[in-house]
A and B are shown apart, each in its own frame.
Chain A
Amino acid sequence: MSKLPLRARVATTLGGAAGRMSRLAGRGDGSVIGGVIGLRVEPGLLSLLAAGRQIVLVTGTNGKTTTTRLITSALSALGQDVASNAFGANMEAGLAAALGQAPDAPYGVLEVDEKYLPAVLQATKARVVTVLNLSRDQMDRAAEIWLVARRWRDAFEAAPDCRVVANADDPLIAWAASGAAQVTWVAAGQRWHEDSWCCPRCGSHLRRDDLGWRCGECDFSRPSARWILDGTSVIDSTGTMTELSLALPGRANRSNAVMALAVAEVFGVGSAQALQGMRSVTSVAGRYTQVERHGRHMRLLLAKNPAGWLEAFDVLDPAPVPVLLAVNAQIPDGRDTSWLWDVDYRVVRDRPVFVSGERGLDLAVRLEADGVAFELVDGVDDAVSRVSAGGTLDVIANYTAFQQIRTAVGRAA
């Protein structure tokens, strides 16, 4: 800390005070406001705060927060402090605040909004960038994902010292990462194919088979991977198979975990050691949390876009456990609900379905078209009251709907 220029020290001190005040005032978890104030005093703050540390950046449409947490847990094996924006504040202010709050940590694991990756990579001179996946998400305010991939590609080309850990199964990710000088390819799987029918390089139809994907016209194809997710196990570069045995549920989290193992390897942390830390993670910023509500068990799942809904369905309890689906369309969610029609809801035909949220009627019409029986309810407690005492309710909600439910059932969740 003492090596920071005076201006940066003033900026982080002011920022830290604001973060504490924000928490005291109950205005949030205080993870952004400090960074906002700090950056106003010293615009180069992020560079200054990152200097001399080993930084890992994590980005992609889905799984950023969870993967950041898994990498942080894996790196705990190094026995040193790791700075991290664990609550998902992933723009420049959130990153500056996270580093400012842990001035002596030699490592930083930071999730980064897709759009900001090029600027953050340049500012932090990150040692590793982890790129998970790219799919349609909040398209009324985000750039088209092909453009995002192209900007990443340019950013990687301009950062030859950075190692990119990339999901080889996502064609758009593979195209972006193939611009990097050093890549660790991970076969982390790709369930959602609707945004990658076409070759990112030439635009032709992509062919898919058991070996992955390849372009029918140019020679672009899935790179061979050093790490492979195989069911519930990981196969590492030596061919050793290890059961992941995570506490977090679902295929998406196994995929995130294999990405995290590949990052840990860069820092000399082996799978066995890394998994020890990762298996202790049971919930991430409220996601997957189990809560009791009026004598019923509830489990909270966040799904912000079609690919995310697919992953959330994957971890639902077996039928007939009922599910509450809640959808809003505030600015952080995207004002446009068209994406509901990209989700296949037929998988929940086998269970009672409750619908809520500010855009519950959008969802109602969507479910009707898929032949899913449902009841429109007035918020989470109305849904809970319709579940028999002692029973279980799964909840899938998009971003602000999820936050509203967390607030309703108590922030402790």
Chain B
Amino acid sequence: MGPPWDPANSRRGTHSRGPSNLRLVWVYPDLLSTYGDRGNLLVLERRARLRGIGVEPIQVNSDQPVPRQGDIYLLGGGEDLPQVLAARRLREDGGLAAAASRGSVVFAVCAGYQLLGAEFGGEEGQPVRGLEILDIRSGRGERRGVGEILADVDPELGVPTLTGFENHQGVTRVGPGAKPLARVSVGVGNGDGTEGAYAGRILGTYLHGPALVRNPGLADLLLSWAIGALPQLRPEQEAWTSRFREQRLAAVTG
């Protein structure tokens, strides 16, 4: 096998990364980490390391500046008040928006997804200004969507069916500057039959918590956005993940 990954394959080139380490920045776990959000960090870390890619996980709390040199930024879910606070701090800090505009990958879940957009619903349902780095607009819906979700991903992304769990009362409209990530077959998602959104290397979803655990294809998409084409993993490295994924898909489709 050749080198596990070659920087020359990288589709990015806007700024240089360290010689070997992929910088995974977990943004504000003190405010946005409600449903096992650490899982996304651990899965990206594992799938990178299995391919021989070094990883430098960076955890940034809300009283610290967000570094601008990260490769992949992760935002998790959160309750209403922490979400409002996180949006305010991230706007003031400016680091995440700067990194995104320079082509870094951003993966955001649930509350984190909503706050990337123009606005979202606060703790009393009032509109709160978001980061405006993804063309979406969210508000509070009539009822809470709680349960398993299945959604078929935009074929352009080449990612298999999404499986996950959602627990939110948000409704999101995807604007012309972004595309829905997927079409819902079971569950609620954005509330209009679509689920999540993406534009460039910014991607958000209502699949909460450890969304990448059940969706290794999505994890690999994010890794490939950051570092270029990836070698396949060996089947035995995927065995538990595949069994788990099949079980969840079967449980929902019955």
**Chain A residues at the B interface, C-beta cutoff of 8 Å:** 136, 139-141, 144, 146, 194, 197-198, 203-205, 216, 335-342, 361-362, 364-366, 368-370
Q: Among A144, A205, A336, A338, which residue has its beta carbon within 8 angstroms of that of B39? A: A338
**In whole angstroms, how far apart are the Cα atoms of A197 and B240 in the complex?**
33
Q: Is the CB of A203 within 8 A of B85?
A: yes
Q: Is the CB of B240 within 8 A of A339?
A: no
Q: Is the CB of A335 within 8 A of B147?
A: yes
Q: Is the CB of A139 within 8 A of B81?
A: no
**Chain B residues at the A interface, C-beta cutoff of 8 Å:** 29-31, 33-39, 42-43, 46, 61-63, 79-82, 85, 146-148, 165, 167, 208-210, 213, 240-241, 243-244, 247
Which A residues are CB-close (under 8 A) to B42? 341, 369-370
Q: Is the CB of A336 within 8 A of B240?
A: no
**In whole angstroms, how far apart are the Cα atoms of A366 and B82 in the complex?**
27
With known contacts A144-B79, A341-B213, A198–B147 Cβ distance under 8 A: no
Closest chain-B Cβ to A89's Cβ sits at a distance in Å of: 25
**In whole angstroms, how far apart are the Cα atoms of A205 and B60 in the complex?**
12
Nearest residue, chain B, Cβ from A207: B63
Closest chain-A Cβ to B164's Cβ sits at a distance in Å of: 9
Which A residues are CB-close (under 8 A) to B31? 197-198
Closest chain-A Cβ to B154's Cβ sits at a distance in Å of: 25
Q: Is the CB of A136 within 8 A of B247?
A: no
Q: Is the CB of A205 within 8 A of B36?
A: no
**In whole angstroms, how far apart are the Cα atoms of A204 and B213 in the complex?**
31
Which B residues are CB-close (under 8 A) to A368? 46, 240-241
With known contacts A205-B62, A338-B165, A365-B213, A198–B240 Cβ distance under 8 A: no
Closest chain-A Cβ to B109's Cβ sits at a distance in Å of: 10
Q: Among A140, A146, A337, which residue has its beta carbon within 8 angstroms of that of B81? A: A146
Q: Is the CB of B38 within 8 A of A342?
A: yes
Which B residues are CB-close (under 8 A) to A336? 35, 165, 167, 209
Q: Is the CB of B37 within 8 A of A341?
A: yes
Q: Is the CB of A203 within 8 A of B82?
A: yes
Closest chain-B Cβ to A336's Cβ sits at a distance in Å of: 5
**In whole angstroms, how far apart are the Cα atoms of A291 and B208 in the complex?**
39
Q: Among B46, B62, B63, B167, which residue has its beta carbon within 8 angstroms of that of A140? A: B167
Which A residues are CB-close (under 8 A) to B46? 368-369
Closest chain-B Cβ to A148's Cβ sits at a distance in Å of: 11
List 24 interface pairs A-B (beta carbons < 8 Å), by A numbering. A136-B34, A140-B146, A140-B165, A144-B80, A197-B29, A197-B31, A197-B61, A198-B82, A203-B82, A204-B63, A205-B61, A205-B62, A335-B165, A337-B165, A338-B35, A338-B165, A341-B36, A341-B37, A341-B38, A341-B213, A368-B46, A368-B240, A368-B241, A369-B213
